[in-house]
């Protein structure tokens, strides 16, 4: 054993399942490791490659695992330092079902299976971890790898199907369909179908599909007596048969069945009916696959017993978002689904805190403010919230406030564990400033609205986007009514908000170049949040308040609503709505790519087309600015 093997053993020791092994055992494994270097975008193995004799653990770098569905690459999971992957050779004999590709330059340790297998056999804990790791990625319970071998999952190795929604969900289907010849008598085929419990048979000539016989055909043509059971298959088969490519997604299969009004699809090698039969997808396969959807996630949230359960759900949610975006599902839909789940998580966090410290001594409402309230939170950004409790007698006040502060602290700390950082400015319910009685809150809002210039340090516009997460909706309604009532025709307040909205720097320079960060860790990157999204968000809120559009929080929906309310400027609003979506998408993609809030866009990584697209979506801001200036006759502060 040499000193490098020793170092590698030390490295392995930190990660599961190696932490179950002794140093002596690790040293033996380490001595047999091979070290690989993968350039960025280099593929280690891809779908249908024969299995390697090793599995892999990442020493440095990032590897993306992906599958192909509907002729498009879909990311399954990202592996980072210490993650193991490529476990298939342990459990299955067939070829790889996914592609492993380096997202950045990576150094990988290859651990030969032959060397590692004895440790698995002697150590049930290690086996458990490996199985878990494998199963996590494995399709679902019907992934009959070890079963009768009849089913096969189209994509094989899907990371956490629970989170998948049907647009990109993979399908399990029968890969060894019953094949018949044109000249076979119907009764013998029916016999075969009955024996093998399937409801279709493909009629082939040289393995090329020419027709299909299903239950329906047997019912309508044989059972009715129109043909005798001795007739040959070609007289009753449906022809031509509808064929699809391998790796078809649930949604696509469903559409094809509806369009062609059939109950079965034949999978062929190249998707035409001129190539070899690979399997059959039945309606039943679609139903089985549809058992998973975002509803399941919400259910899971409601059942969560501890913060760590929520952490897992938030992770699954991140996968869901990523896959949805990759599949080009409209951002508004994703937003809706995600904010529902987000709300459920926030709500559960409050509930868990109450379970821990006992029932509240008074009624209260936990409100989220800012992006959460606007239902625009696709990435894990920081948490912003306030707590409002009902008025109590002065002698009880102290005790009640203490309880709620405690409640808020627990809630925010749970959310922190889940991954929502605390707001930089301390805009959270656990802050003594933002945990107040109803009367105090009304006073607070009144002072903000009627004297916006004073104490302006405390006025952040995000306080004007709020929504109820948990508690008494009456309290919430009182608050929101007060805000909108006070805002009506309040010139001073709109002056203030308007100027606040206009104060942001322009996203483009005089020469129509992006204004990028000049220094700091994000040098040369474009701050899409402050320079592009915030002005739109602020603008939408401003008009929303001035037109008294109570109950609409989402920036996109606000612009859409404004286009109806203030129809002579409809075009500007609609442009802004579109721009907002495009910009949010840019930000979300950047955030997913770098696993951060996506605030800073690395322009160098954008294609020329994307850069143009980004630039174009900045155009409506100028018109919005003009509109703000003219509508609110900005003078007081300007």
Partner 1 sequence: MLDWLKNINKEYPEFWKIYLSKFEAKSKRYVVLSTETSGLSVEKDVILGIGAFAVVDDCIVIGDSFETYVLQYKFLHENKISNDFIIETHMKKLGEADAIISLIDFIGNATIVGHHVDFDVEIINAALERMDCGRLKNEALDIDIMYRKLHDITDQQFSLEELSGFFKIPVNDRVSSTEDAYNIGLLFLKLKSRLGIK
What sign for the dihedral angle of Cα 234, 240, 244, 250? negative
**Which residue in the set 16, 32, 166, 458 belongs to the binding site for partner 1 (CB under 8 A)?**
32
Q: Is 34 in the site for partner 1 (CB under 8 A)?
A: yes
Instruction: Report which secondary-structure segment, H or E, holds 407.
Output: helix 394-418
Select from 28-36, 196-204, 348-356, 450-458 the region that touches partner 1 (CB under 8 A): 28-36
Identity of the residue, 23 or 91, whose beta carbon is nearer to partner 1 in the bound complex: 23
Site for partner 1 in 40-99 (CB under 8 A): 42
Q: Categorise residue 247: left if φ over 0, alpha if ψ from -120 to 50, beta otherwise.
A: left
**Strands, E assignment, 314-418:** 364-369, 385-389
Select from 37-45, 468-476, 547-555, 621-629 the region that touches partner 1 (CB under 8 A): 37-45
Bridge partners for 389 per DSSP: 364, 437
**Which residue in the set 24, 39, 224, 258 belongs to the binding site for partner 1 (CB under 8 A)?**
39
Identity of the residue, 111 or 388, whose beta carbon is nearer to partner 1 in the bound complex: 111
Identity of the residue, 89 or 271, whose beta carbon is nearer to partner 1 in the bound complex: 89
CB of 32 to partner 1, least distance (A): 5
CB of 269 to partner 1, least distance (A): 32
CB of 63 to partner 1, least distance (A): 16
CA 602 to CA 162: how far, in whole Å?
32
**Which alpha helices (H) appear in 60-150, and where do they start and end?**
88-91, 113-122, 124-137
Q: Is 3 in the site for partner 1 (CB under 8 A)?
A: yes
Provide CB contacts within 8 A for 344, sequence distance 6+: 297, 298, 301, 302
Q: How far apart are the first and last CA of the chain?
A: 74
Contact pattern for partner 1 over residues 320 through 359, marking x by CB under 8 A = ----------------------------------------
CA 192 to chain centroid, in Å, comes to 44
Bridge partners for 109 per DSSP: 35, 57
Select from 4-12, 129-137, 409-417, 595-603 the region that touches partner 1 (CB under 8 A): 4-12
**Which residue in the set 21, 26, 30, 298 belongs to the binding site for partner 1 (CB under 8 A)?**
30
CA 104 to CA 40: how far, in whole Å?
4
Q: Is 2 in the site for partner 1 (CB under 8 A)?
A: yes
Closest CA to 408 of 333, 356, 464, 467: 356
Identity of the residue, 5 or 288, whose beta carbon is nearer to partner 1 in the bound complex: 5
CB of 85 to partner 1, least distance (A): 17
* Pairing of the two strands 277-282 and 435-437: unpaired
| Binding-residue total with partner 1 (CB under 8 A) | 18
Tokens linked to 403: 């309880």
Select from 29-37, 317-325, 450-458, 491-499 the region that touches partner 1 (CB under 8 A): 29-37
Q: Is 518 in the site for partner 1 (CB under 8 A)?
A: no
- Phi and psi dihedrals of 524, rounded to 5? 70, 10
CB of 64 to partner 1, least distance (A): 19
Q: Is 31 in the site for partner 1 (CB under 8 A)?
A: yes
Closest CA to 618 of 575, 569, 574: 575
CB of 38 to partner 1, least distance (A): 9
Residues 546 and 562 sit within 8 Å (Cβ to Cβ):
no
Residues 389 and 438 sit within 8 Å (Cβ to Cβ):
yes
3-state per-residue secondary structure call for 125-160: HHHHHHHHHHHHHCCCCCCCCCCCCCEEECCCCCCC
Bridge partners for 385 per DSSP: 368
**Which residue in the set 10, 14, 37, 121 belongs to the binding site for partner 1 (CB under 8 A)?**
37
Identity of the residue, 106 or 316, whose beta carbon is nearer to partner 1 in the bound complex: 106
Select from 104-112, 128-136, 539-547, 591-599 the region that touches partner 1 (CB under 8 A): 104-112
Tokens linked to 494: 């709109």
CB of 34 to partner 1, least distance (A): 4
**Which residue in the set 12, 33, 400, 435 belongs to the binding site for partner 1 (CB under 8 A)?**
33
Identity of the residue, 30 or 480, whose beta carbon is nearer to partner 1 in the bound complex: 30
CB of 31 to partner 1, least distance (A): 5
Residues that bind partner 1 (CB under 8 A): 2-5, 8, 30-37, 39, 42, 105, 107, 110
């Amino acid at each position: 054993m040499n000193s490098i093997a020793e170092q590698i053993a030390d490295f392995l020791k930190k990660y599961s399942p190696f932490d179950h092994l002794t140093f002596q055992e690790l040293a033996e494994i380490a001595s047999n490791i091979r070290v690989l270097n993968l350039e960025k975008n280099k593929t280690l193995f891809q779908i249908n490659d024969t299995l390697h004799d090793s599995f892999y653990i990442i020493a440095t770098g990032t590897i993306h695992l992906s599958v192909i569905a509907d002729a498009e690459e879909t990311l399954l999971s990202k592996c980072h330092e210490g993650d193991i992957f490529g476990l298939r050779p342990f459990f299955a004999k067939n070829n790889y079902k996914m592609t492993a590709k380096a997202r950045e330059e990576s150094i990988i340790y290859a651990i030969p299976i032959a060397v590692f297998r004895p440790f698995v056999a002697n150590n049930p804990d290690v086996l458990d971890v490996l199985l878990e790791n494998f199963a996590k990625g494995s399709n679902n319970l019907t992934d009959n790898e070890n079963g009768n071998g009849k089913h096969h999952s189209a994509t094989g190795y899907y990371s956490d199907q629970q989170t998948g929604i049907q647009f990109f969900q993979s399908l399990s289907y029968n890969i060894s369909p019953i094949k018949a010849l044109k000249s076979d008598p119907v009764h013998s085929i029916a016999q075969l179908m009955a024996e093998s419990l399937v409801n279709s048979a493909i009629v082939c000539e040289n393995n090329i599909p020419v027709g299909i016989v299903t239950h329906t055909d047997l019912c309508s043509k044989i059972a009715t007596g129109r043909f005798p059971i001795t007739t040959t298959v070609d007289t009753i088969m449906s022809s031509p048969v509808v064929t699809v490519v391998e790796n078809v997604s649930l949604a696509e299969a469903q559409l094809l069945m509806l369009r062609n009004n059939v109950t079965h699809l034949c999978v062929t090698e190249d998707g035409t009916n001129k190539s070899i039969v690979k399997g059959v997808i039945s309606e039943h396969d679609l139903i089985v696959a549809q058992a998973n959807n975002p509803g399941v996630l919400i259910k899971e949230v409601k059942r969560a017993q501890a913060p760590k359960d929520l952490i897992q759900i938030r992770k699954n949610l991140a996968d869901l978002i990523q896959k949805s975006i990759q599949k080009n599902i409209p951002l508004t839909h994703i937003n809706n689904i995600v904010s529902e789940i987000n709300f459920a998580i926030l709500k559960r966090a409050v509930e868990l805190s109450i379970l821990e410290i006992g029932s509240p001594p008074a009624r209260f409402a936990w409100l989220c403010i800012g992006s959460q309230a606007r239902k625009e939170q696709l990435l894990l950004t920081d948490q912003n919230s306030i707590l409002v409790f009902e008025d109590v007698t002065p002698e009880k006040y102290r005790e009640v406030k203490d309880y709620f502060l405690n409640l808020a602290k627990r809630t925010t700390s749970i959310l922190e564990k889940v991954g929502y950082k605390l707001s930089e400015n301390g805009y959270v319910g656990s802050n003594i400033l933002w945990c107040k009685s109803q009367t105090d809150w009304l006073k607070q809002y009144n002072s903000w609205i009627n004297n916006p210039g004073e104490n302006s340090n405390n006025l952040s516009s995000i306080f004007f986007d709020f929504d109820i997460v948990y508690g008494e909706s009456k309290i919430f309604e009182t608050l929101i009514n007060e805000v909108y009532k006070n805002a009506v025709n309040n010139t001073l307040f709109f002056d203030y908000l308007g100027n606040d909205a206009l104060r942001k720097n322009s996203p483009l320079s005089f020469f129509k170049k992006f204004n990028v960060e000049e220094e700091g860790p994000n040098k040369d990157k474009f701050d899409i949040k402050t320079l592009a999204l915030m002005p739109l968000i602020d603008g939408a809120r401003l008009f929303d308040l001035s037109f008294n559009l109570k109950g609409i929080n989402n920036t996109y929906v606000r612009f859409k609503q404004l286009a109806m309310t203030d129809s002579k400027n409809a075009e500007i609003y609609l442009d802004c709505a579109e721009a907002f979506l495009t910009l949010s998408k840019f930000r979300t993609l950047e955030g997913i790519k770098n696993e951060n809030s996506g605030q800073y866009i690395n322009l160098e990584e954008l294609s020329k087309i994307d850069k143009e697209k980004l630039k174009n979506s900045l155009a409506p801001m100028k018109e919005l600015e003009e509109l703000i200036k003219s509508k609110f006759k900005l003078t007081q502060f300007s």
